[in-house]
């Protein structure tokens, strides 16, 4: 896999939050990891005191675990075995509450995900401001932006986030500290074989099987404050935090592209239940188009109805 392309030479201009090279964007978006710059480092909502308050008021579960777990959290064997999620893996946590962990993040040896912080109106407004900045170039490549979400990650020095994948489009923006990501090529079946991908869309969970040989099939990205990286959908990755407290923001969303893929796997499960052996998504483009047609019509009608 080629190294992550660095678009951070296109800085965020005055009055803008993101620096995107819109000429290069279509060639790399959803295909390769690439870096950008952003202007969110000093934003008041993304500083540690504000995040301590958010952790105390957020009306949803907060994921947080010790930061010294192994990169691989998946046992060998069938991809259709027990659920592979951070929660069901029952990873050890600090002996602190979520709010205490973030208050003591310097020494807690932990990492934390405040998921879907857009339930707070101030963070929802910031998320929409970010979305509007990249809506134009994204819609030209993957139309139908839907269900946008903002997650905030707070990590202790040296913490490791195990190998996992997300099906959404994803920008990860570094606010404080630094981290290194190893982003494996999700298009390569040596990284994510077809049975593992099928199991993922059947609900097996976000954790993926890792081995050191995958580093040869991965882009290695070092993020410092003011930088961000695009992680294509279903590209498994793991994260090594730097030697300071890290704060980063994940901006994730679905589109016609991601909805189509999930729909194809869902239709295949229905066909399997009645004894058929459907083609794997991507093997028969014409059949894929027929299977996806009802969903694509529904999504487009929904967009047209807003006008």
pLDDT (mean) for 256-269? 92
Q: Looking at residue 62, which CATH number applies to its domain?
A: 2.60.120.650
Residue-wise pLDDT for 156-192, tens only, equals 999 999 999 999 999 999 999 999 999 999 999 999 9
| DSSP at 96 | S
- Judge if 118 and 221 occupy the same domain: yes
Confidence band of 307 (pLDDT split at 50, 70, 90)? low
pLDDT (mean) for 3-13? 57
Query: 223: Cβ–Cβ under 8 A, 6 or more apart, which residues?
Result: 35, 172, 174, 178, 179, 180, 181, 229, 248
- Judge if 27 and 132 occupy the same domain: yes
Q: How far apart are CA 17 and CA 225, in angstroms?
A: 13
Residue-wise pLDDT for 101-159, tens only, equals 999 999 999 999 999 999 999 999 999 999 999 999 999 999 999 999 999 999 999 99
Say if CB 226 and CB 127 are below 8 A apart: no
- Judge if 267 and 241 occupy the same domain: no
Q: How far apart are CA 214 and CA 209, in angstroms?
A: 10
Task: Report whether pLDDT(78) > 90.
Answer: no
Over the chain, what is the mean pLDDT? Answer: 91
> Which residue's structure tokens are 């101030």?
122
The CB density around residue 118, as the number of other CB atoms within 10 Å, is 17
Task: Report whether pLDDT(302) > 90.
Answer: no
pLDDT (mean) for 232-246? 98
- Judge if 27 and 80 occupy the same domain: yes
Which domain, by its residues, includes 171? 5-254
Task: Report whether pLDDT(213) > 70.
Answer: yes
User: What is the reported pLDDT for 4?
Assistant: 65
Encoded tokens for 298: 């529904």
- Judge if 250 and 267 occupy the same domain: no
Q: How far apart are CA 87 and CA 303, in angstroms?
A: 35
Residue-wise pLDDT for 47-74, tens only, equals 999 999 999 999 888 999 999 999 999 9
Whole-model pTM: value is: 0.91
Last residue of a domain, one of 236, 254, 272: 254
Q: How far apart are CA 235 and CA 68, in angstroms?
A: 22
- Judge if 98 and 157 occupy the same domain: yes
The structural domain count of the chain equals 2
Query: SS3 letters for 183-249?
Result: EECCCCCCCCCHHHHHHHHCCCCCECCCCHHHHHHEEEEEEECCEEEEECCCCCEEEEECCCCEEEE
Higher pLDDT among residues 272 and 174, named by residue:
174
- Judge if 288 and 154 occupy the same domain: no
- Judge if 33 and 162 occupy the same domain: yes
Measured at the alpha carbon of residue 112, what is the angle toward residues 100 and 50, in degrees to the nearest 5? 60
Measured at the alpha carbon of residue 257, what is the angle toward residues 199 and 288, in degrees to the nearest 5? 70
- Judge if 167 and 201 occupy the same domain: yes
Confidence band of 300 (pLDDT split at 50, 70, 90)? confident
- Judge if 171 and 265 occupy the same domain: no
- Judge if 83 and 228 occupy the same domain: yes
- Judge if 111 and 243 occupy the same domain: yes
Confidence band of 278 (pLDDT split at 50, 70, 90)? confident
């Amino acid at each position: 896999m080629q190294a992550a392309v660095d678009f951070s030479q296109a800085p965020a201009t005055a009055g803008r939050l993101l620096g995107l090279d819109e000429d290069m964007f279509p060639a790399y978006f959803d295909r390769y990891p690439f870096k950008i710059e952003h202007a969110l480092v000093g934003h008041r909502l993304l500083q540690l005191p504000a995040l301590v308050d958010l952790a105390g008021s957020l009306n949803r579960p907060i994921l947080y675990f010790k930061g010294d777990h192994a990169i691989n959290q998946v046992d060998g064997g069938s991809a259709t075995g027990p659920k592979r999620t951070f929660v069901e893996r029952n990873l050890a946590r600090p002996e602190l509450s979520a709010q205490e962990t973030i208050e003591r993040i310097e020494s807690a040896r932990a990492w934390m995900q405040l998921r879907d912080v857009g339930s707070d109106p101030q963070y929802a407004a910031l998320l929409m401001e970010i979305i509007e900045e990249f809506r134009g170039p994204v819609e030209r490549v993957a139309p139908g932006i839907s269900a946008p979400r903002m997650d905030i990650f707070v990590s202790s020095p040296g913490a490791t986030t195990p190998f996992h994948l997300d099906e959404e489009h994803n920008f990860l923006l570094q606010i404080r500290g630094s981290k290194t990501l190893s982003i494996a090529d999700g298009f390569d079946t040596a990284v994510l074989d077809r049975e593992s991908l099928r199991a993922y869309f059947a609900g097996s969970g976000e954790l993926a099987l890792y081995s050191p040989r995958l580093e040869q099939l991965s882009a290695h990205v070092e993020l410092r404050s003011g930088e961000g990286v695009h992680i294509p959908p279903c590209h498994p990755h793991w994260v090594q935090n730097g030697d300071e407290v890290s704060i980063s923001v994940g901006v994730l969303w679905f589109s016609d592209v991601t909805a189509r893929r999930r729909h194809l796997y869902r239709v295949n499960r229905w066909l399997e239940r009645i004894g058929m052996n459907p083609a794997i998504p991507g093997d028969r483009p014409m059949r894929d188009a027929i299977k996806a047609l009802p969903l694509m019509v529904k999504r487009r009608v929904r967009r047209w109805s807003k006008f």
